[in-house]
Chain A
C-alpha cells in the first residue's frame, strides 16, 4: 500500500504550492483598508481623509441605493482600470498595477457585503 517515492514527492510539491499560495494571500478587509480607506473612508461612507479638496465625493460604499446601480462587471472595471473607464471620476485611479484580478474580484464581493445589496436590487 505504500506510495512510491516519486508519488510522495509529487504530492508534497502540490501541498507546498497550495500552502504557500494560501499563506501569501491577503485578507480582503486588509486590501480595502490599505487602498480604499484613503478616499472611501474607515466607515466606507465616501468620507475618507483625502476628500477635503476633491471636486467629486467618492462613492459611499454603504449606500445600497447607489451601489445597486452598478453591476459587478462595472465595479471590477472601475477598480482595475479606474473611474474613467466607466465614465466616472479620474480621481478613482486604476489599481491594476497593485491588485491581481483575484483580489479585485474579492473586493467586488466585499463591496456587496458593505452595501448589503446586489445589482438592480
Chain B
C-alpha cells in the first residue's frame, strides 16, 4: 500500500522536474546552435574572443563591432529583431577613414565600400541572440544598476549633447542630422544596455584602447542625463 502511494507521488514530481528543466535545456540548445552560427557565419568580420585592437592598424582592420562583450552591451530583443532586418548604424562604417573619399565640398561617404549585413531567419536570430548574451568579457567595467531611470527635456538634452559637449559633431541625433563618423544615437537606447552606455561614455578607451571617440571626462550626473536623453530620443518617431 505504501509503495503504491510513493509511486503515485513520484510520478507527478518527476514530470514537474522535467517540465521545469525544459526551458533551461531549450535555451542551452539555442545557445549552442547560435554559437555554431556565430563561429561559421560571423567570426570572419566580428571578434568573438577579444581583446580589442591595441594598435591603429588593428583598429583600421576591424570590419565590424567586437562581440566578445555582447552580453553586457546589447539588448537581446533589439538584437533578435535587428538580425532579421539589419540596417546600418554607423553611416561611415566601422572605421570611417576606410569608407570616405574626397569630394568637391569636402569628404563624403563612399557607399561602394560599405557592405550590407547578412540577414538571419527568425529562428537563427533567436539562437544567435541567445549565444551573444553569454559573451560577457569586460564585466568588471560595468557597475550593475548604475543607471537610474529619469527624464530630461528634449531641448535640454540636445543642448547638452550639442552645444555643451560637442557630441553632435560625430553622431546623428535624427536621420540625416549630425556627424557621420560615429554610430547614430537616436536608436542607441533601443540597442544598448544603459549600464554599458554609462561605462563606455565614462571611458571609451577602457573598452577599446585605440577608438576614435574621445574621453570627454563626463561627470556621473551628466552620464545619467545623456542616457535619459537617449531614451527620450528612442521614443521619437523619425
Interface residues, chain A, CB within 8 Å of chain B?
Answer: 26, 30-31, 33-35, 37-39, 41-43, 45, 47-54, 82-83, 89-98
Contacts and interface: CB of A to CB of B under 8 A. Distances in A.
Contacts of B177: 53
Give the 5 A-B residue pairs with the shortest CB-CB distance, closest first.
Answer: A97-B215, A47-B106, A50-B179, A93-B214, A90-B166
Contact of B166 (A49, A53, A89, A97): A89
B217 interface: yes
A49 B55 contact: no
B92 interface: yes
A46 B7 CA distance: 82
A96 B211 CA distance: 13
A31 B56 contact: yes
B56 A26 contact: yes
Contacts of B100: 37, 42, 49
Is the contact region of chain B dominated by helix, strand, or loop, or is it mixed?
A: mixed
A98 B170 contact: no
Contacts of A52: 179-180
A34 B215 contact: no
B203 A97 contact: yes
A42 B210 contact: no
Interface string B53-64: 001110110000
25 contacts: A30-B56, A31-B56, A33-B97, A35-B212, A38-B170, A39-B170, A42-B101, A42-B102, A48-B107, A49-B92, A49-B100, A49-B109, A51-B106, A54-B179, A82-B214, A89-B166, A90-B163, A91-B169, A92-B166, A93-B166, A94-B216, A97-B203, A97-B204, A98-B210, A98-B214
